[in-house]
Amino acid sequence: MVDRKKEEAAMETVLNQLHKHCISLHDDTIKAYVDHFMKVLNHLIVLMKEEDVLFKAMYRRMSGAGSYYDGLKVGKPEEFDVDIVIRLPVSYEEITIVSNRSVPPAFTKVQITTKAMDLLRQRPDWASTYRSMDKWRDKDGFLLQSEFRQWVESVVNKALNRLRRSKPNCYELGIQDPDASGRLSQYHISLKKSGPAMTFTVTMIPSNAKVDVDFVPVIEFTHPKWPAGSVRPLSDQLIKAKRTSWFIVPKPKSKTGDADHTLWRLAFHEQERELINDRGTLKPVCRLLKKLRDSCQLNIASYYLKTLFLWEIDANKAPDFWKMKQSHLFMHMLKILQQNLKRGEIKYYWDKHCNLIEGFQEKHKENLVCRLDNIIAHIERNVSESPIVIAEHIRKFCGFRLYTHCRMEEPLALEASEWLNKNSVLCLCEA
């Protein structure tokens, strides 16, 4: 029993070292990247407001989305997601959120009444500000995500055209710091479209460091306005935490030209962030799982992995569940992933009728299951003799190797130190 405790302590120590060296992001580096791209985006928002009075009237804020803002990001801080939050200029009492059998799971339709538009037309600034919204509804009053997305893209392009273009799709921007230094920060910006997102590549001059930012237009709604039908209701916990805003995203259901442009994807970023927050080892283990995915080249989206943790929060209400050791929770979640892939489904947390991996080919799923079977079997077969076996699977992608007889960088708990010294195992040194 004592030896087992020492082995587990050693495993925790090595996993902590993995986090320190090749999973956790350095705060100073992240802050520098975020400061730079937010400076660029804030400048673009100012230009967008100047170029389009409707955008100025409806724009509310930028809201971070994705792994970085969830505290789940691994690897270099080179990709970020930011939502452009829009609020419709009509009474939300005159808006119907349609979620019935005619609407696919994880999507919704938004119907704006004729009364709402008539009231908008009575405004003195209708002609100068809101007239273009007439094109945003179909004949039945349903909001068209295609028209909305094209409008936002046109506003972005008008803003970019205010900048100096050094070559096709490369814009130059200089921003003077507002502080006493008056330092001029210089950037090159390029733009590409991918689904509902516009991806800005921001290059910092003269370092040539680059960051990609997915700039996603979304329309905001607030509880008690909430999708009905099979969508999970907003919990008392989330209402109490004031996580009541949710979004619709202009993401087509079909990638072909025959997409239904009245369908909008549901997004609950604020709620998901609140649910995974303050859950002990949840975030470190999710990052370890993502690093294993990268190391073993498992083609599974980060959101699918996060979704498994959301379901596990539902399944395990005991407050101590998320306090278990990283190695134990890692193996538990690895088996949860394996089981879901064997069943051929990862259910969307907000609507269990949506299978996130529905589009996976059978051969791809079988390959993933086979590889996970081998990883789990190898870990379970060797863990009693080599508690660092989990780290061995993860570290391949990190540029680090496990060496013997190297000095640990930080003091170890006595049990971990005894085991590591006895078995001549190092920690992490650069390859």
Please report which helix (H) or strand (E) contains residue 305, including its range.
helix 302-315
The per-residue pLDDT for 397 is: 44
Cα 108 from Cα 353, distance rounded (Å): 14
Cα 111 from Cα 108, distance rounded (Å): 10
- Which single residue is written with the structure tokens 């910092």? 204
- The DSSP secondary structure of 178-202, one letter per residue, reads SSTT-PEEEEEEEEEEETTEEEEEE
The pLDDT tens digits for 203-238 are 999 889 999 999 999 999 999 999 988 999 999 999
Task: Choose the most confident range, by mean pLDDT, from 191-195, 222-226, 319-323.
Answer: 222-226
Q: Is the pLDDT of residue 414 over 50?
A: no
Assign 412 a pLDDT band (cuts: 50, 70, 90).
Answer: very low
Query: Other C-beta atoms within 10 Å of 305: how many?
Result: 22
Assign 190 a pLDDT band (cuts: 50, 70, 90).
Answer: very high
Cα 303 from Cα 259, distance rounded (Å): 23
The pLDDT tens digits for 331-344 are 999 999 999 999 99
Q: Which residues pair with 61 in a beta bridge?
A: 85
Q: Is the pLDDT of residue 425 over 80?
A: no
The per-residue pLDDT for 386 is: 73
Assign 183 a pLDDT band (cuts: 50, 70, 90).
Answer: confident
The per-residue pLDDT for 391 is: 77
Fold of the domain built from segment(s) 2-25+278-430: Poly(a)-polymerase, middle domain (1.10.1410)
The per-residue pLDDT for 390 is: 79
Q: Is the pLDDT of residue 186 over 60?
A: yes
Cα 208 from Cα 49, distance rounded (Å): 29
Q: Is the pLDDT of residue 319 over 60?
A: yes
In the chain, residues under CATH classification 3.30.460.90 are 52-268
Strands (E), 66-163: 79-86, 95-98, 107-112
Q: Tell me which residue of 218, 189, 221 sits closest to 205, measured CA to CA.
A: 189
Alpha helices in 344-413 (DSSP H): 362-382, 389-394
Measured distance between the N- and C-terminal CA atoms of the chain, rounded to whole angstroms: 35
In the chain, residues under CATH classification 1.10.1410.40 are 2-25+278-430
Rg of the chain, C-alpha, whole Å: 25
The per-residue pLDDT for 180 is: 61
**Residue 149, amino acid:** R
Which residue has better confidence, 319 or 369?
369
Give percent of the chain with pLDDT exceeding 70.
Answer: 87
The pLDDT tens digits for 117-141 are 999 999 999 999 999 999 999 999 9
CATH code given to domain 52-268: 3.30.460.90
The pLDDT tens digits for 360-411 are 999 999 999 999 999 999 988 887 777 677 777 776 545 444 443 333 444 4
To 10 degrees, what angle do helices 269-276 and 302-315 make? 60
The per-residue pLDDT for 69 is: 93
